[in-house]
Amino acid sequence: MKDIIIDTDPGVDDALAIMLAVKSGNFRIHAITTVAGNSTIDDTTRNARFILKLLGREDIPVYSGAKNPLKRKLDRAVVHGKDGLGGLKPLNGPGLSGDAVERISSIIERNSGKITIVALGPLTNIARMIEDYPQTIPKMKSVVMMGGAIRVPGNKSRVAEFNMYVDPEAADIVFRSPVMKTMLPLDACDVQLSLTDFEKIRDAELRSPILEMVVPYMRNLSKNEGTSKAMMYDPLTVYSLMNPSACRKRRINAVVETRGEFTRGMTVAEQRRWKEENPNVTVVEKVSARRFKADFVRILSKAQP
């Protein structure tokens, strides 16, 4: 069992990632903390709670975090639809709760050396924790984050991936911090699911909500990101932690652009082979499509206890 906090901005793929993490049985999820990104903080918090309700796991606490990026206006995503979950309408009201940054720190303090933060949205909460609670930093096990684009184009801009673009100052703080970091960038997101794959999911409680989310999501992706299949950014990130043997990884040195006119949020990696650089992040370069798809469908098909 790995001890984790999921920091997230649901988001269709975030919702699928939460389902995968919960149903896998591989994780002790101490909390879900929310951040503004794909949608507003009210939406992402409500959506996180709604997904836990679908999973019958309302015992997992949800704490709401940053309403805006550290220094910029929120530039929310379009592919997740108006409420953030495609065509799925969350039934519960919004309602913010707690203080994500303080809770992340206190959970880590109580479980020194054990907690991995799985960061599936902009890094605003994590950066604030690093700045506001420096004494907690050495007690974090690691941060595993979805974000960046090393050798491939961006999805939010020519060069930047969405989570890095939305809050580049936060990403910069995280990248410069001494915390152990793993990133799953767009390079590893060539693993996509089709409607036929989702239709194989057998759990009667989840199957139709999943289809309600992913059908509009795929439609929006084909208009905005040039693919008609479902991008699995955040589930792949959770999966890389569940099943490291299905992943190829490499240590690199990367920094985040905060000032560029055209390059806001670009993850700039040292790729010159002859340069000696201190690696500061592990990058997941490749995930086995075959293993991910088989495991994703199998795990989401398990009956709920």
Bridging pattern class, strands 27-34 and 247-252: unpaired
Query: Which lies closer to Ca ion via its Cβ, residue 36 or residue 150?
Result: 36
**Single residue of 163, 240, 280, 282 touching ligand BDR by CB under 6 A:** 163
63 binds, among ligand BDR, Ca ion, none (CB under 5 to 8 A by kind): none
What does the longest C-alpha to C-alpha distance in the chain come to? 56
Q: Does 167 bind ligand BDR (CB under 6 A)?
A: no
Q: Does 121 bind Ca ion (CB under 5 A)?
A: yes
Q: Does 209 bind Ca ion (CB under 5 A)?
A: no
DSSP string, 196-262: HHHHT---HHHHHHHHHHHHHHHHHHHHHTS-SSEE-HHHHHHHHHH-GGGEEEEEE-EEE-SS-SS
The DSSP output letter for 304 is P
> Which residues between 95 and 154 bind ligand BDR (CB under 6 A)?
120-121, 146
Q: Does 120 bind Ca ion (CB under 5 A)?
A: yes
Q: φ, ψ for residue 241 (rounded to 5)?
A: -85, -30
- Could you tell me which stretch among 87-95, 125-133, 161-169, 209-217 binds ligand BDR (CB under 6 A)? 161-169
- Could you tell me which stretch among 6-14, 170-178, 245-253, 259-267 binds ligand BDR (CB under 6 A)? 6-14
Number of residues that bind ligand BDR (CB under 6 A): 14
Q: Does 7 bind ligand BDR (CB under 6 A)?
A: no
Q: Does 160 bind ligand BDR (CB under 6 A)?
A: no
Q: Let me know: does 7 contact 121? Beta carbons within 8 Å.
A: yes
Measured CA to CA in angstroms, residue 287 lies from 101, 180, 278, 281 at distances of 31, 20, 25, 17
Q: Does 86 bind Ca ion (CB under 5 A)?
A: no
